[in-house]
C-alpha cells in the first residue's frame, strides 16, 4: 500500500513531497542534506546513494566543505566528481580513464551556468549553496 503525504493530484499525476513505500525514490533534494549538517560533497554522495541504490562512502566528501576549507573548488562539484570517479574510474593505469570525460562534461556545465567552479566566487556572486548543490546533482544525473 502507498501512503502519500503532502500530495495533490494534477491530471493523472500525483505530486507529493513524500511517498512512504519501500523502493520509491525519496523526493528530498541534495541540498536538504547540506541543511542537516553534511558538507556539500557529503550531501552529493548521500543523495546519489539514496536515489541510485549505490554504496559510495559518504566520508569521501567529508573534506569538501567550504571549497575544501579555503574557498577553492566547490564541494558539491568535488562530490559529483567523486561519484563519477567511483562509478566510472579505473583500477589500473592500463585501462582507459572513462571518468575524465564525465568529469569534463560536469565542469563545462558548471562553468557555463555560473562562470566559475570556485566556492568563493560562487558565494561572492550571491549563489546559494542550496542552488549549486541541487544544480550540480541534476547535472550529475544527466551526465551519468
Where are the domains positioned within the chain? 28-143
pLDDT mean over 16-32? 61
User: pLDDT tens-digit profile of 47-91?
Assistant: 999 999 999 999 999 999 888 989 999 999 999 999 999 999 999
Mean pLDDT of the chain, nearest integer: 87
The pairs formed by 99-107 with CB atoms below 8 angstroms and a separation of 24 or more are 102/143, 102/144, 105/143, 106/77, 106/80, 106/81, 106/136, 106/139, 106/140, 106/143, 107/77
Amino acid at each position: 500500500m502507498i501512503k502519500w503525504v503532502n500530495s495533490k493530484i494534477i491530471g493523472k499525476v500525483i505530486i507529493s513531497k513524500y511517498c512512504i513505500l519501500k523502493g520509491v525514490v525519496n523526493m528530498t533534494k541534495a541540498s536538504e542534506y547540506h541543511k542537516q549538517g553534511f558538507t556539500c560533497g557529503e550531501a552529493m554522495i548521500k543523495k546519489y546513494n539514496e536515489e541510485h541504490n549505490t554504496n559510495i562512502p559518504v566520508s569521501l566528501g567529508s573534506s569538501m566543505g567550504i571549497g575544501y576549507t579555503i574557498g577553492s573548488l566547490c564541494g558539491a562539484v568535488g562530490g559529483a566528481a567523486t561519484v563519477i570517479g567511483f562509478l566510472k574510474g579505473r583500477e589500473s593505469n592500463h585501462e582507459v580513464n572513462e571518468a575524465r570525460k564525465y568529469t569534463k562534461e560536469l565542469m563545462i556545465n558548471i562553468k557555463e551556468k555560473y562562470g566559475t567552479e570556485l566556492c568563493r566566487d560562487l558565494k561572492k556572486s550571491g549563489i546559494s549553496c542550496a542552488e549549486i548543490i541541487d544544480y550540480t546533482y541534476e547535472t550529475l544525473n544527466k551526465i551519468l
